[in-house]
Amino acid sequence: MCTCETGAASTAAPTESTGRTYTVTGMTCQPCATKVTAAVEQVDGVTAVTVDLAAGRIAVAGTATDSAIHSAVTGAGYEIATI
């Protein structure tokens, strides 16, 4: 469930993914996507994060470990699974 209080749905088009892809449960609006992106961008070794909000997915490029990415996303309050 979305943890943001805006209630606004995103109209952003999905972006093309590169690198490793993850499903993020609960990322349902643009403020959620911004929160997840900010958390993952802080992980050492991450060079890019792209979001497909409609699919509930993120793609991460760089040398960061899955464990570090999982920790960042769960720390932001969301569930994550590697695709």
User: How far, in Å, CA of 58 to CA of 69, rounded?
Assistant: 11
3-state secondary structure 23-66: EEECCCCHHHHHHHHHHHHCCCCEEEEEEECCCCEEEEEECCCH
Residue 8's pLDDT is: 47
Residue 16, pLDDT > 60, answer no
Residue 37, pLDDT > 60, answer yes
Residue 19's pLDDT is: 81
Report percent pLDDT > 90 for the chain: 76
Q: Which residue has the higher pLDDT, 19 or 33?
A: 33
Structural domains in the chain, CATH included, are 20-82 (3.30.70.100)
